[in-house]
């Protein structure tokens, strides 16, 4: 079973001496990744069954778990880590062959966090998970990921932020005039030629000067009848060939 909700970083990892000892706000991992019972009976230092438990609540204000280590009881306490809590508090005379240490950091100072931990058989491999060590006869795995900045309600809203009281309102885009081809106040109404100055090539400036009307004197305007008379074609050859008759001279 998954130990953490998708998208919520862990804010605590601990050990409970039984299901009844799991405190409020914590969840016990009762099954391995293969579906077997996940009781930590071996090497847990007591006759009952212990369980690995995690916490995800209060992730916005509570420190998040950024790393996990499993060390023997003879290993020195790693710097920057705290020992995972046990529920209820362990007695000093009880020995633990393996200990779990976690590194907690404020959410705003952490780039990555632990989002899930699972137990599996020692010979198994869990894709996308990193093996931390072995405890209670199982392999301990964790899944890390980057932390995303929580969005505020104002960022999620499509409305523009309200201006402070007394501050001048932001200028609005000019309204679209009736019959206008496009709205110049909107980027969606701009064409590729907007803002490009119009200029003629120097080659044509002399021909289109004050005496540009002289260019029109060489033009001949023809009517439709003139065009039909000039380009009239009777199709005599085509009609003769179609009728299969010898051509006649008229």
- pLDDT tens for 231-241 read 777 777 777 77
Tell me what pLDDT residue 2 has.
40
3-class secondary-structure state, position 89: coil
Distances (CA, A) of 145 to 49, 92, 106, 110, 232: 31, 36, 15, 11, 83
DSSP state of 150: P
DSSP state of 108: G
- Whether 17 shows a pLDDT value over 90: the answer reads no
Maximum distance among all Cα pairs of the chain, rounded to whole angstroms: 135
Distances (CA, A) of 100 to 68, 97, 146, 219: 7, 10, 23, 98
Which range, of 19-28, 41-50, 52-61, 194-203, averages the lowest pLDDT?
Answer: 41-50
Determine the average pLDDT of the residues in 7-14: 90
CATH of domain 12-146: 2.100.10.50
- Whether 51 shows a pLDDT value over 70: the answer reads yes
Tell me what pLDDT residue 129 has.
96
Tell me what pLDDT residue 222 has.
77
Q: What is the pLDDT of residues 53-71, one digit of tens each?
A: 999 875 467 899 999 999 9
Confidence of residue 3 (pLDDT cuts 50, 70, 90): very low
Alpha carbon distance 220, 243 (integer Å): 40
- Whether 5 shows a pLDDT value over 50: the answer reads no
Residue 180 contacts by C-beta under 8 Å, 6 or more apart in sequence? none
Q: Report angle CA 89, 19, 84 to the nearest 5 degrees.
A: 40
Tell me what pLDDT residue 214 has.
57
- Whether 207 shows a pLDDT value over 90: the answer reads no
- Whether 1 shows a pLDDT value over 90: the answer reads no
Tell me what pLDDT residue 217 has.
61
Alpha carbon distance 113, 135 (integer Å): 22
């Amino acid at each position: 079973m998954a130990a953490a909700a998708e998208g919520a970083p862990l804010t605590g990892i601990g050990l409970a001496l039984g299901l009844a000892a799991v405190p409020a706000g914590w969840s016990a991992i009762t099954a391995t990744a293969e579906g077997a019972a996940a009781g930590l009976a071996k090497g847990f230092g007591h006759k009952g069954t212990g369980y690995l438990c995690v916490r995800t609540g209060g992730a916005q204000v509570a420190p998040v778990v950024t790393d996990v280590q499993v060390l023997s009881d003879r290993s020195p306490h790693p710097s920057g880590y705290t020992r995972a809590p046990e529920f209820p508090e362990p007695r000093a005379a009880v020995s633990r062959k393996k200990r779990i240490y976690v590194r907690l950091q404020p959410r705003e100072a952490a780039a990555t966090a632990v989002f899930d931990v699972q137990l599996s058989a020692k010979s198994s491999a869990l894709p996308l998970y990193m093996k931390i060590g072995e405890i209670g006869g199982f392999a301990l795995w964790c899944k890390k990921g980057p932390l995303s900045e929580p969005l505020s309600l104002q960022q999620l809203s499509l409305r523009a932020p309200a201006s402070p009281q007394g501050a001048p309102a932001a200028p609005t885009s000019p309204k679209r005039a009736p019959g206008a081809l496009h709205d110049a106040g909107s980027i969606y109404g701009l064409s590729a030629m907007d803002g490009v100055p119009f200029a003629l090539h120097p080659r044509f400036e002399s021909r289109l000067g004050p005496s540009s009307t002289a260019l029109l004197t060489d033009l001949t305007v023809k009517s439709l009848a003139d065009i039909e008379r000039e380009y009239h074609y009777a199709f005599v050859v085509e009609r003769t060939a179609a009728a299969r008759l010898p051509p006649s001279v008229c």
